[in-house]
Chains A and B, each alone.
Chain A
Amino acid sequence: MPELRRLRVRVDPDKCQGHNRCKAIAPELFELDEYGNARAAGDGTVPADLEEKAFLARSNCPEFAVEIVEEGES
């Protein structure tokens, strides 16, 4: 039986410069550290109803720091 596709967001800490675009677009999926740099909230799992926001966060990051990985597709 095929597993359900699951998306996970990740922020590359070497690329993130704290533009805060991802957090503004998808506050449920990202959090900021004390310097304003972003990381995924929790383990980065994207609930189905937030997938569009996850992709928008990725396509608005000026530093190309937001990644989306698909899991459970094999």
Chain B
Amino acid sequence: MTSRPPVKDWATDFDHLDPRWIKDPFPIWDEMRKGCPIAHTDRFQGVYFPSRYEDVRAVAYDTEHFSSRRVIVRETPPPRIPAPPITSDPPEHRPARMVLLPPFTPDAIRKLEPRARALCNELIDKFIARGTCDAAVEYAQEIPTRLIAHMLDLPESDGDLYRKWIHEILEVGITDQGVLMQAVAEMTRYFASAVQERTARPGDDLISYLVHARFNGTPMTADHVLGTLRLLLIAGIDTTWSGIGSCIWHLAKTPEDRSRLVAEPSLMPTAIEELLRAYAPVTMAREVIKETSINGCTFKPGQMVLLSFPAANRDPAMFPDPDKVIIDRKENRHAAFGLGIHRCVGSNLARMELTVAVEEMLKRIPEFSLAGEVSWSEGTVRGPRRLPLRFHQSARAMLKR
């Protein structure tokens, strides 16, 4: 993405693939909020960028003018790739969502927690004696990949394949449609054979649940099941991986927060919400389908809107001292999991994974710091992709479990 023309002006020519945006978007959004709270670019065939909480919220709630049929801004709009319910609008959205909610309630997710804890410890076992690790590659990215494979009852060793597809769909595929469509086709073929197998021999897993679920009284079509499986994989992995990575990155560079969490483990739920607010990984998109106006800005049909929950979460009108991470922040109506009918279905899973990942890391390795250059993802899911750490314990203390 180094060959993109440089941004002339963030208010009228922004580019979310610009290296400055990828590295540190927060000052750019601050500038937008002050000067032009709904920015626009002609790049990507026209995109709006609301940077204030109230405008992000207004777009998220308005399903009449803003459609979810395209949720990713790409250089060229690809043929429709349905992944219900994230790409569904009312009235189709509700039944497609309802069918997916029961396996993701807090009670259902609690049952996965022991596996998640064991998995984190298996990963830590591999690098703890070395005294260093890349926490993005060796820890954060492995946790959601292996846990989703566990939920779908697919081999955890297929994780590399999942990450290849996600990289091709969410990063390379923004500008290269050939790579995008190839990855979607491979993924669909992979799930089609699993669906066939679970139709014949249902198990206790999420694929079997979907294959046998009733949708408005009838089974879901094969296309619907495949679309939803694509969604679970695409939406469940690099989002959580990014969230875990950002939490650990923050704790690596903020020893006072790290030692406070070690000393006061009961603070963890509040701290996790604050880290979710400050480092919300996910920006969604909408397509304008009917002309409308929000806070004096006209939205033209056919153009896209980047729905930046991360920017909304840094709006000083909503959050005092928004750029400060305050791990005991009491009032925190953050929008990391979205707002309105498309609230992340996997939010309870993501929260559990984040909590367990941070807790197990701090238990085994209470002292660590950054040990090199951190690199960040490109595109609309933001998180560290390289996160070199050094541990500061004696090997003996670290081996204790």
Do A and B come together as binding partners?
Answer: yes
- Is the CB–CB distance between B340 and A36 below 8 Å? no
A36, B337: Cβ atoms closer than 8 Å: no
Stretch at the interface among B100-108, B175-183, B197-205: B100-108
Does B399 lie at the interface of the complex (its beta carbon under 8 Å from any beta carbon of A)?
no
Q: Does A32 contact B (CB under 8 A)?
A: yes
Mark the stretch among B7-15, B298-306, B341-349 that contacts chain A: B341-349
Contact B347 A20 (CB under 8 A): yes
1/0 per residue, CB under 8 A from B, across A25-51: the answer is 000000010111000000000000000
A62–B98 CB distance below 8 A: no
Q: Is A32's CB under 8 angstroms from B332's CB?
A: no
Nearest Cβ in chain A — how far from B272, in angstroms?
10
Q: Is A61 an interface residue, CB under 8 A from the partner?
A: yes
Residue-wise interface mask of A (50-74) relative to B, using a CB-CB cutoff of 8 A (1 in contact, 0 not): 0000001001111110000000000
- Assess whether A61 is in contact with B102, with CB atoms less than 8 Å apart: no
B105→A32 contact, CB < 8 A: yes
Q: Does B80 contact A (CB under 8 A)?
A: no
Given A17-B341, A18-B343, A32-B106, A62-B333 contact (CB < 8 Å)? yes
Contacting A36 at CB < 8 Å: which of B101, B273, B331, B333?
B101
In the complex, A19 has a CB within 8 A of chain B: yes
The interface of chain B, by Cβ under 8 A from chain A, is 98, 101-102, 104-107, 269, 273, 330-335, 337, 339-341, 343, 347-348
Chain A residues proximal to chain B, CB less than 8 Å: 17-21, 23-24, 32, 34-36, 56, 59-64
Listed by A's residue number, 19 A-B pairs whose Cβ atoms lie within 8 Å are: A17-B343, A19-B343, A19-B347, A20-B106, A20-B348, A24-B269, A32-B105, A32-B107, A34-B105, A35-B105, A36-B101, A56-B330, A56-B331, A59-B330, A60-B332, A60-B333, A62-B333, A62-B337, A63-B339
